[in-house]
Amino acid sequence: MTTTIDPAAADEAGRRDALADRLLKSMIGSAELASVWLGLRLHLYEALRKGGPATMAELSARAGIDARYAREWLEQQAVAGLLDVEDVAADAGTRRYRLPEAHADVLLDADNPAHAGATAYWIGSLAEVLHRVPGIYRSGEGLPYPEYGADCRLAIANFNRPMFVNDLAGWFAAVPELEARLEAEGARALDVGCGIGWSSISLAKAFPSLRVDGIDSDEASITEAQRLAAEAGVADRVRFRVVDAAELGAAGEGGYAAAFIFEALHDMARPVEALEAVRALLAADGVVIVADEKVAETFTAPGDEVERLNFAFSWWHCLPASRAETPSVASGTALRPATVREWSEAAGFASLRVLPVDHLFWRFYQLAG
């Protein structure tokens, strides 16, 4: 007897099994990322890096945590491949665990190009607000940015920090006319939506005569930015203020050679008003550089990993945070080039061009005129 296989049914069964497998792997990955958050929050990785390999009792003493919990976390980290074990056959009390230096670079060295420990802080922020999200989806309300917590600030800042610290100068080497403006004696730049300040600090370090004004509407971010600028030794040239970009006209001083909006335009409730306010403060030949998400030109599904990454944040963070203000354009994270052009023209800019900057996550625009 010959069995006939229905191709459509086989395809559906394949899709079913693939999705079930994907969700299982996502559950494992998200739980492991949460364990990284715990290791960072309790300084467990730091204790292992500084003190060397440790037993459960030694980690307990170094980090000030319960010994049984120390054992559980160490075993989980080893099973997940994040820590090495010196002797797998040793009993639980004498087994020693080591943080590989290569993993320490990723988890702890915030300036290292490979740093990705910041990804774990997103789990902490999501945990702060997740149970509130169904309510705002029903009501249409938003969630104010400060309510996403300190983990949100750390996640954004430390995810982008290696790019600013290591790559920023190179971005603008691809645009020599802009580089010349920033190198000119007495030049001033405006950093809009500066967060905790790594973009402003990196601009000042890349261009030693440049004076930078960083603005952000989040008071906690500005407080942290001021501390970091002092630590970096650039507080004499970098100034931070709590200002909503759309209200900048009342607080700005003008004459800026350039203004920068790094990964912040899509978060703004009133982006056209913000661009108008920034444009009014430029010098005669000044430009605005917008770096925002490198999403596809038009909606496409399914998307690649960059597209998935942006939508993964938009549904619970970027869109609700921008909708906390009224009115709001409610852009979401996926800010496409046509929308940037539309906003640029509405704000009065005469030209927009995409800059030849090679970046995995961002597309760079220059607005002028």
Of the three residues 62, 90, 107, the one that is the final residue of a domain is 107
| 71 and 192 assigned to the same domain | no
131 domain-assigned: no
| 100 and 168 assigned to the same domain | no
117 domain-assigned: no
End-to-end CA distance of the chain: 77
How high is the pLDDT of residue 10? 78
| 57 and 175 assigned to the same domain | no
Overall number of domains in the chain? 2
Of the three residues 72, 87, 107, the one that is the final residue of a domain is 107
Structural domain that includes position 13:
7-107
329 domain-assigned: yes
Peptide bond into 100 cis (omega under 30): no
Read off the CATH number of the domain in which 189 is found: 3.40.50.150
What string of pLDDT tens digits covers the 369 residues of the chain? 566 677 787 788 899 999 999 999 999 999 999 999 999 999 999 999 999 999 999 999 999 999 999 999 999 999 999 999 999 999 999 999 999 999 999 999 999 999 999 999 999 999 999 999 999 999 999 999 999 999 999 999 999 999 999 999 999 988 999 999 999 999 999 999 999 999 999 999 999 999 999 999 999 999 999 999 999 999 999 999 999 999 887 555 789 999 999 999 999 999 999 999 999 999 999 999 999 999 999 999 999 999 999 999 999 999 999 999 999 999 999 999 999 999 999 999 999 999 999 999 999 999 999
The DSSP H or E segment spanning 261 is strand 256-262
For tokens 């800042």, the residue is 157
| 245 and 336 assigned to the same domain | yes
Which alpha helices (H) appear in the chain, and where do they start and end? Answer: 7-41, 44-51, 56-63, 67-79, 101-108, 118-129, 133-139, 149-173, 176-183, 198-206, 219-232, 271-280, 305-313, 319-323, 337-346
| 313 and 234 assigned to the same domain | yes
156 domain-assigned: no
Per-residue model confidence as pLDDT tens digits over 35-63: 999 999 999 999 999 999 999 999 999 99
| 340 and 198 assigned to the same domain | yes
128 domain-assigned: no
Look up residue 19 and give its amino acid: L
141 domain-assigned: no
| 216 and 319 assigned to the same domain | yes
Q: pTM score, two decimals?
A: 0.94
| 216 and 101 assigned to the same domain | no
Read off the CATH number of the domain in which 91 is found: 1.10.10.10
- Across the beta sheet with 211-216, what order do the strands follow? 238-242, 211-216, 188-192, 256-262, 282-293, 362-368, 351-354
118 domain-assigned: no
320 domain-assigned: yes
| 247 and 358 assigned to the same domain | yes
| 82 and 175 assigned to the same domain | no
d(CA 49, CA 103): 10
Of the three residues 73, 107, 141, the one that is the final residue of a domain is 107
d(CA 122, CA 338): 29
| 185 and 36 assigned to the same domain | no
Tell me the two tokens of residue 62. 């170094």
How high is the pLDDT of residue 6? 78
| 168 and 92 assigned to the same domain | no
How high is the pLDDT of residue 5? 72
Query: Of the candidates 7, 242, 32, 227, which has an alpha carbon nearest to the alpha carbon of residue 145?
Result: 242
